[in-house]
């Protein structure tokens, strides 16, 4: 298939931005290895792939399994089918491109691969530049926001279906499996990340993996889940009680709900992410639970579950219109349980929009 065609949007603009970075850094090429960076930059979905971008060319490296997919998804790029995974095809293309200084993201390359490329590619110089693509992914286009909206809707509808199905005796694993099924039934590619389903004291573990504990009428059920739709994900958390809420956790719930409200209120363009974290954290600190809120307030979402910006105490990120972030304060009492409330929030030109619509309380 001929590749002599104009690069379509949004890839044209994204590659143009990357080329500006290549020029600014005085590079001859940039090597993209991360699958989601590759998809964002070219639209190619193959899990075996790499992209070389120069001031004049875009080269897509893959293998024969994705020959047809490359023609459909990125027909404007130069396709190179490598016979085996390894540095040989990459170096061969870099030599053809006469690239001597090549940028890459060090977080996406193993030490062994780096050493092999450096040894085989002499005198090519590999220059680590982690910020060439990922910060640019933080600000979403209207099309990306639309996909995230769909992912939120699918996740919420699936949660509603599971909530109506809940009954005492179900295990965490059974609930997680049903939730994944309900999301796929509604059009999701799958889960945006492995769902956290935690019953009782397990809910005090922020990143718990579902096990065999069974749901009861007297303990909280914490669910942290998201759907992936057209490659973009959502990320939500709610706590459900089948019976009444114990007094201790009712107090915790009220504090977390207030903290989340203050955090969301602080979201607007030009605000430092650390200031949003502080707005929510102050509520929890004042209530005496500061030591029980042991993670950042939130993070960006998009092609992966955690991406820029980061909303934490030490974050230097500044919010911009088009960013989609989570606001998810939590309080965790070991041996008792935890409460985390999480919603997805779009930074708009004048403030914010909460994309998720589920009630906060399910008791």
Residue where the block lists tokens 């955690």: 306
Q: Is the pLDDT of residue 1 over 80?
A: no
Give 336 or 86, the one with higher predicted confidence. 336
Do 225 and 191 touch, CB atoms closer than 8 A? Answer: yes
Q: Is the pLDDT of residue 2 over 50?
A: no
pLDDT value at residue 77:
97
* Local confidence band at 4 (pLDDT 50, 70, 90 cut-offs): low
Q: Is the pLDDT of residue 146 over 50?
A: yes
pLDDT above 70: percentage of residues in the chain: 99
* Max CA distance (Å), the chain: 70
Question: pTM of the entire structure?
Answer: 0.94
**Residue 17, helix vs strand vs coil:** helix
Q: For residues 168-191, give the mean pLDDT.
A: 98
pLDDT digits 0-9 by tens, 233-269: 999 999 999 998 899 999 999 999 999 999 999 999 9
Instruction: Map out the domains of the chain with their CATH numbers.
Output: 11-136 (3.40.350.10), 142-362 (3.90.230.10)
Euclidean distance between CA atoms 145 and 140, whole angstroms:
6
Q: Is the pLDDT of residue 81 over 70?
A: yes
DSSP β-bridge partners for residue 347: 352
Q: What angle do CA 95, 96, 97 make, to 5 degrees?
A: 90
Q: Is the pLDDT of residue 208 over 70?
A: yes
pLDDT value at residue 84:
81
SS3 content of the chain, % helix, strand, coil (to 5): 40, 25, 40
**Residue 51, helix vs strand vs coil:** strand
Q: Is the pLDDT of residue 11 over 70?
A: yes
Residue 289, CA distances (Å) to 41, 246, 286, 312 in order: 43, 17, 8, 17
């Amino acid at each position: 298939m001929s590749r002599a065609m104009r690069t379509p949007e949004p890839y044209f603009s994204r590659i143009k931005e990357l080329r500006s970075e290549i020029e600014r850094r005085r590079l001859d090429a940039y090597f993209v290895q991360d699958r989601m960076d590759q998809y964002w930059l070219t639209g190619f979905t193959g899990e075996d792939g790499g992209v070389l971008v120069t001031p004049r060319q875009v080269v897509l490296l893959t293998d024969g399994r994705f020959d047809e997919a490359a023609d459909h998804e990125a027909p404007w790029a130069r396709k190179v089918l490598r016979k085996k995974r390894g540095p040989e095809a990459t170096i061969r293309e870099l030599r053809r491109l006469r690239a001597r200084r090549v940028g890459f993201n060090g977080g996406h390359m193993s030490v062994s691969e780096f050493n092999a490329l450096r040894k085989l590619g002499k005198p090519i110089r590999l220059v680590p530049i982690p910020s060439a693509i990922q910060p640019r992914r933080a600000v979403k286009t209207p099309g990306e926001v639309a996909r995230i909206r769909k992912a939120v809707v699918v996740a919420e509808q699936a949660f509603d279906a599971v909530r109506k199905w809940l009954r005492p005796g179900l295990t965490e694993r059974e609930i997680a499996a049903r939730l994944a099924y309900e999301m796929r039934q509604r059009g999701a590619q799958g889960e945006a990340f492995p769902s956290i389903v935690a019953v009782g004291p397990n809910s005090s573990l922020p990143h718990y993996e579902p096990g065999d504990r069974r749901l009861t009428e007297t303990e909280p059920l914490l669910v942290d889940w998201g759907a992936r739709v057209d490659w973009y994900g959502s990320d939500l958390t709610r706590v459900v009680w089948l019976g009444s809420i114990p007094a201790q956790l009712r107090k915790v719930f009220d504090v977390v709900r207030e903290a989340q409200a203050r955090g969301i209120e602080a979201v607007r363009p030009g605000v430092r992410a650390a200031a949003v974290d502080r707005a929510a954290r102050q509520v929890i600190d004042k209530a005496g639970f500061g030591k029980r809120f042991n993670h950042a307030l939130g993070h960006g979402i998009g092609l992966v579950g955690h991406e820029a910006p980061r909303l934490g105490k030490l974050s230097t990120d500044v919010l911009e219109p088009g960013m989609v972030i989570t606001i998810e304060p939590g309080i965790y009492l070991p041996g008792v349980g935890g409460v985390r409330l999480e919603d997805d929030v779009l930074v708009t030109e004048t403030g914010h929009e909460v994309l998720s619509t589920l009630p906060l309380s399910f008791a």
